[in-house]
Amino acid sequence: MNEQMNRQMMNQTRQMNRRQLLNHINQISFAVDEVKLYLDTHPCDNEALEYFRKMSRQRNLALKEYASAYGPLTVDTAEDSCAERWNWINEPWPWQEGGC
């Protein structure tokens, strides 16, 4: 079930261009940030827990997908960016043009 969902999500994100994929990462990361704060004061809310799991899984997949296509956003996905050189410094920083 999870495998199938993961594959579906991967296919969806593969059809996005760079800007769309980054927006997608920003949106699901925001959902993760928001529900994480909520869970700090509501640790037993099952609905919120389920939402966190779903969003967190999507976020991790999208980060991997982004790293392999455009370069890593996190050190944990740097390995997925299978390049000959250290891509971390080549892609624009978030405050620069073409970043964020």
The residues of the shown chain that bind other proteins, judged by CB under 8 A, are 22-23, 25-26, 29-30, 33-34, 36-38, 40-43, 72-76, 88, 91, 93-95, 99-100
CB of 74 to other proteins, least distance (A): 5
Q: Which is nearer to other proteins, 82 or 98 (CB)?
A: 98
Q: Which is nearer to other proteins, 2 or 41 (CB)?
A: 41
82's CB contacts (< 8 A; 6+ apart) are: 68
b/e sequence 44-75, b meaning 16+ C-beta within 10 Å: eeeebeebbeebbbbbbbbbbbbbbeebbbee
